[in-house]
Amino acid sequence: MNRYIKECWQMKVLESIVVAFSMYSKIPMPHIEWNKENMKNVLCFFPWVGAVAGVLVWLWFRVSDQLGFGVMLRASVAVLIPVLVTGGIHLDGLLDTADALSSWQTRERRLEILKDSHAGAFAIIVCCSYFLASFGIWTEAEAADIGVLAVGFILSRALNGFGICTFPCAKNSGLAATFAQAADRKRCQIVLVIEILLCIAGMLLIDPLRGTKAAVVAVVVCLCCRRMAIKTFGGITGDIQGFFQQICELTMAYVVILQ
C-alpha cells in the first residue's frame, strides 16, 4: 500500500514538472492532460525552467571563452538563450504591460489592453529598448559575474511563482488566476520560499558582494511591481508577472556586472 502511494505521488510530481515545462518553456515535453491534481504543485517547479536557462548561459560563457569568441557574439547569444528556452512568454508579458501602462486609460481599459494580442507602438519601443539594454550590459559581463546571474534566472522565477500564489489577482480568469486557483497555495508558498532562500544563499556563496546586490534588487523589483500591479490594475496577471521577471533579470544583470 505504501509503495503504491509512493508511486502515485512520484507520478503526480513528474506530471507537475511536465506541466511546468510545457507552460513556461519551449523544451519538448510528453503530452499529458492537465488536471486538478497535477496542477497543484506546478509553481514549485517553475524555477526549474530558470535553472535550465542559467546552466545554458553559464555553459555558453565557458565555451565562448575557450573558443575565443568576441564580446558581441558572446553577449548576443547570452541575451537570446532565455528567450529561446521560454519561447518569449515572459517577454510577451513585458510588452503587453508596457502598452497598458503607456495608455493612461482606466483600469478596465488597461486590463483589456493586456489581453489584446496586437503589439502597440509602446510595446515595440520597449522591446527594442529592452534588447539594446540587455545586449549592452552583457557585453560587459566577466566570468566572475556569470555564476550569480545564472542563479538569478532561478530566483526571478521563484519570486514570480511566489507572487502568483500569494498576491491578489486582477481578475478571475487568465494565466495567473488559473495557476493561482489550481495551486496548493500553502505547499507552493513554502517550497518557493525555500527555493528563494537557497538561491540567495547560493549567490552569496558564489560572490558575497555580487550576490547581495542581486538578491536585494530582485526583492525590491518584486515589491515595486506588486505595488504597481495593485495600484494600476487591481492585482497581478500573467502579463504583469512576465513584466516583473524581465525587469528583475535586467536589473540584476546591471547591478552584478557594473562593479
Which tens digits make up the pLDDT trace of 10-33?
Answer: 557 788 888 889 888 998 888 887
Residue pLDDT, tens place only, 188-223: 999 999 999 999 999 999 999 999 999 999 999 999
Does pLDDT of 1 surpass 70?
A: no
Does 71 map to a domain? yes
Cβ neighbour number for residue 202 with a 10 Å cutoff:
17
Identify the domain containing residue 175 by its residue range: 41-257
d(CA 121, CA 128) in angstroms, rounded, equals 11
Distances from the Cα of 11 to the Cα of 4, 63, 151, 158, 255, angstroms? 11, 36, 28, 23, 41
Does 167 map to a domain? yes
Q: Which three cell numbers stand for residue 33?
A: 492532460
d(CA 157, CA 154) in angstroms, rounded, equals 5
Q: How many helices, marked H, and strands, marked E, lie in the chain?
A: 11, 0
Q: Which three cell numbers stand for residue 154?
A: 532561478
H helices present in 68-88, as ranges: 71-86
d(CA 234, CA 249) in angstroms, rounded, equals 24
**How many domains are contained in the chain?**
1
d(CA 100, CA 138) in angstroms, rounded, equals 28
| Cα 103-104-107 angle, rounded to 5 deg | 100
Residue pLDDT, tens place only, 143-199: 889 999 999 999 999 999 999 999 988 888 777 788 888 878 899 999 999 999 999
Q: Which residues pair with 236 in a beta bridge?
A: 169
Does 78 map to a domain? yes
Residue pLDDT, tens place only, 115-143: 767 777 788 998 999 999 999 999 999 98
Distances from the Cα of 127 to the Cα of 115, 221, 224, 252, angstroms? 18, 19, 21, 18
The pTM for the full model equals 0.91
SS3 169: strand
Q: Which residues pair with 34 in a beta bridge?
A: none
Residue pLDDT, tens place only, 69-115: 999 999 999 999 999 999 988 998 899 888 888 877 777 777 777 77
d(CA 165, CA 43) in angstroms, rounded, equals 8
d(CA 76, CA 137) in angstroms, rounded, equals 11
b/e string for 115-128 if b means 16 or more Cβ within 10 A?
Answer: eeeeebebbeebbe
Q: Which three cell numbers stand for residue 234?
A: 487591481
Instruction: Output phi, psi for 169, to 5 deg.
Output: -90, 145
